[in-house]
Each structure stands twice: as C-alpha cells, then as structure tokens.
Chain A
C-alpha cells in the first residue's frame, strides 16, 4: 500500500512537470499500448482453444490428423489476423 502511494505521488509530480501536450501524448501512448495488449489477448485465447480441439480430434481419430492440421493452421492464421489488426491500429494511432 505504501509503495502504491509512493508511485501515485511520483506520477503526480511527473504529471505536474509535463506540459498539457506532453501529458496528452503520454496518455495516448499508454492507451495505444494497452489497446495492443488487449487486442493480443483474445487471439491468444482463441489459438489455445483451436489447438486444444485439434489435439482432441487427432487423439480421437489419428487417421484424420492431416485434415485436422489443415483446419488448425487456417484457423490459427485467421485468428492471428485479429491480433494483426490490433497491431496495425496501434501503429497507426501512435505513429501515423
């Protein structure tokens, strides 16, 4: 608790030293980073679920492993597109 209070005091002191434009840019950078992090969580969970189901399918029917791997690969690539969109939004908001 004491550490949190100290961090809050330091943040307030730093914020007081910044100009409004710098403060706005700082907040925008933090929010863009947070948005990119959040955008990567969903696909991460999705890829985990896809792989879990693929392993389950391959365990039940080993002869269909090739078909399952094809579906899994395409599913992972499509899910990854969501993370790429999040990344692109971050780059465009932060630097463009």
Chain B
C-alpha cells in the first residue's frame, strides 16, 4: 500500500541514534555472570570433578557470549534502521541458536566435556542471570535501561525522609 502523504515516514526506515540500552544491560549481565562464575563452576566441580568445572565454564562462556552478540546485533543495527534491527533480531535468533548448537555438538565427544553440567549451566545461567537483571532494570523514560546508582548523598536524604 502506497502512502501519498509527503510527511509520511515508514517506521522501518527510522533509526535510533541514541544510547543503546541493550549494551548497558549486557555489560551488567556479564559483570554479574563473572561474579557468580565461582558458584556456577564450583558446584559442578564438586559433583563431576574437573571435567564438570571445564564444562560449566564453557557453558557460562556460551551464555555470556550469546548475550553479548545479541546486544551488539540489536544496538548496531538500530543505528542503521529498524528494518535491519528486525532482520537482526529474527534471523539473529536462528543464527545464535545454530551457533550454540554447533558449539555444544562439536565438543560433545571431547574428554573434558560432561554433557549434563554443560547443558544445565547453559539453562540455569541464561534464565538465572536474566531474572537477576530484572531487579536492576529501570524501564522509565528518564532511564530506559538500568536504574541509576544512588549516591551516598541521596542515601542520606532518603534516610532522613524515612526518619
């Protein structure tokens, strides 16, 4: 359908030149992922030994890499056009799923791979980190990505108000 209005701009031709909230979220996710890595790697190491630890570390690297690539694809293509962002999101899903499948399939017979901790780490780290991140997402017009950090002065003000 053709629109004859000279003011008409297709939303798919629009782009977003502002700061990318995905990049900030993923940086925070990776920081938290590295923070919980000793637990995520230590628990399988306790049950499956060194192979479990290597497998869990590999699974965690897959999850964090997947988040980073997803955020990069969205934030990079949003600067060009929303149409490209749509393509990157939809085909990126298939592409990233294929890369994860290949990354697990190719190492499945290696001596250091235990499939159970590897697969469990992928699911637990992916879902767990996302749920954890929800606590720090602001979703307001002023702060579209992460919540702003409270300064010590703001802490004192909020304490004095509460008292």
Contact = CB atoms under 8 A, between A and B. Distances in A.
Interface residues of B, number: 45
**Main secondary structure on chain A at its contact with chain B?**
helix
Contacts, number: 111
Nearest to B144: A66
A74 B126 contact: no
Contacts of A40: 97
A65 B25 contact: no
Given A73-B22, A73-B70, 18 more contacts: A40-B97, A44-B94, A47-B93, A55-B12, A69-B21, A70-B22, A70-B139, A70-B145, A74-B130, A74-B134, A80-B97, A83-B93, A84-B97, A84-B100, A85-B123, A91-B105, A91-B108, A96-B119
Interface of B: 11-12, 14, 16, 18-22, 25, 67, 70-71, 74, 78, 82, 86, 89-90, 93-94, 96-97, 100-101, 104-105, 108, 115-116, 119-120, 122-123, 126-127, 130, 133-134, 137, 139-141, 144-145
